[in-house]
Chains A and B, each alone.
Chain A
Amino acid sequence: MTPLLSVQGLTKHYGAHVGCADVAFDLYPGEVMGIVGESGSGKSTLLNCLAGHLTPDAGAVVFDTRAEGPRDTLKMSEPERRMLGRTDWAFVHQHARDGLRMGVSAGGNVGERLMAVGARHYGDIRSQATDWLGRVEIDAGRIDDRPSTFSGGMQQRLQIARNLVTGPRLVFMDEPTGGLDVSVQARLLDLLRGLVRDMGLSAIIVTHDLAVVRLLADRLMVMKSGHVVEAGLTDQVLDDPQHAYTQLLVSSVLQV
């Protein structure tokens, strides 16, 4: 089986400072990978390098494209990479307002990706937007409201709808539940889990919340100071941590 995403020797320095160093992994179709670690451990740098928002200093990010099979996205031309970012890839930001157009209605936000890939039929765009609002549990009556009138949880769900409307195969998520209260988090996780299973999505989820990865991720990578210190199946890593830092991380989760 060809991995959907194959990463080799990915390195990014900020001057003398290490962003992330020598990261390598394979992600197979339908698999959800969690990346955990403390603040400043290079999680977001890694995610941004993978998604093409940052240019890494070394390494390869090979994506199994629909048309041409595995290709190194770092060697693609910019239009190709941006096209990939609008079609087969999706990026869910931690703060919904980074990923949404706050001055455009909810329907327009969901429709933007469709229009960006050439949809020019208003009725079709509208019905797809309505359908997706329903799938992320937003009332269809809010379709013409601006996201600024939405609650934080709704904004986050709208951002997810906007990203998934073009049927991507790989979703990058940067702390998708950050900044939400626990009950809203639980609903969002439920929703994400359902969407990932139904659509057969592959996802890379960056978070510092171990409960999130326990629920969503099949596999887990633990990062510290830019390096991957431990990787494996989620349950295995969390139940039997080997590296000292992972042990510290697991033991510092608050029990209620």
Chain B
Amino acid sequence: MSDYNFAYLDEQTKRMIRRAILKGLAIPGYQVPFASREMPMPYGWGTGGVQVSAAVLTPGDRFKVIDQGADDTTNAVSIRKFFERTTGLETTTSTAQASVIQTRHRIPEAALAEGQVLVYQVPIPEPLRFLEPRESETRKMHELEEYGLMHVKLYEDISRHGHIATSYAYPVKVEARYVMDPSPIPKFDNPKLAECPAIQLFGAGREQRIYALPPYTGVVSLDFEDHPFEASKADHPCGLCGAEDSYLDEVIMDDAGGRMFVCSDTDHCETRQAAGHRGKDAA
């Protein structure tokens, strides 16, 4: 083990973050301000998620990091190494075996279980930000539950595109009270937020906010009566494992327009392939 304190942050900072997390869990969907620390990585790389992970990791945890569903992209590899070095914990790529999962832009395909913690990296925690630039005003809108403006955004989508074109960071209402930005997960993942047995924590480092969903929380995606919410994905099976129900990435294969669709959740795809499932592009 290195000379760092366990999980890099000092104990006082971790206490401060844990307090914010507890408050967030007590008021689902409410954005709790916290004194975000400088982390040894740039803003936008998940400094909020890293701080939340550092505060909840304990010796004996098994840690997994995904970035857009993948375990092997730069961001995921860097954060995993960071915690391997500063905690000495064992890491894993298996969703089922992990006790703490830090994620950027996805919820794993495999169903989460009680006892697991899912930590989201959040760039902009305020769902009303692009409609109302004043922080004082958005706070008042949350306080007084004035969320008509959120529907103006969806109205604009329909008037411009004929359907709700917002495909990620799709706003949700938590327990019929707070409107929350679920971080930039695809709206395909929105239904997984609701009634999830795992604890879901959201950390925004630059914006200094933490919010949370305790297990089995009611989460509803906003919509119109005549334009209901629809969890959409590319209309293809996975090219490698043949899964029809997972969220897909489109990969350009050559200069002649060749492309394939593969599961964005690499662990899900590999688990299925190991179980003998094959897609049409599998070698």
Contact = CB atoms under 8 A, between A and B. Distances in A.
Interface of A: 78-79, 82, 86, 101, 104-105, 107-108, 111-113, 115-118, 120-123, 125-126, 143-144
B3 interface: no
Interface in B140-190: 144-146, 148-149, 151-152, 155-156, 158-160
A125 B152 CA distance: 11
Interface of B: 131, 144-146, 148-149, 151-152, 155-156, 158-160, 224-227
Nearest to B130: A103
Interface of chain A, main secondary structure: helix
B225 A117 contact: no
Given A82-B144, A117-B148, A122 B158 contact: yes
Given A82-B144, A105-B159, A143-B159, A112 B227 contact: no
Contact of B146 (A101, A116, A120): A116
Contacts of B149: 112, 115-116
B146 A82 contact: yes
Contacts of B146: 82, 116
B225 A125 contact: no
B152 A122 contact: no
B144 A112 contact: no
A125 B148 contact: no
A161 to B, nearest CB: 15
A191 B61 CA distance: 70
Contacts of A107: 155, 159
B156 to A, nearest CB: 5
26 contacts: A79-B144, A79-B145, A82-B146, A104-B131, A104-B152, A105-B159, A107-B159, A108-B152, A108-B155, A108-B156, A108-B159, A111-B152, A112-B148, A112-B149, A115-B152, A115-B155, A116-B146, A116-B148, A117-B148, A118-B148, A121-B224, A121-B225, A122-B155, A123-B226, A125-B155, A144-B159
A112 to B, nearest CB: 5
A126 B224 CA distance: 12
Given A107-B159, A108-B152, A112-B152, A121 B144 contact: no
B224 A122 contact: yes
A122 B227 contact: yes
Given A78-B144, A79-B144, A82-B144, A120 B159 contact: no
Contact of A115 (B144, B148, B225, B227): B148
A206 to B, nearest CB: 25
Contacts of A144: 159-160
Q: Which 9 A-B pairs have the closest CB atoms?
A: A116-B148, A115-B148, A115-B151, A122-B224, A121-B225, A79-B144, A112-B152, A108-B152, A108-B156
Contacts of B226: 121-123
Contacts of B148: 86, 112-113, 115-118
Given A82-B144, A82-B146, A126 B159 contact: yes
Contacts of B158: 122
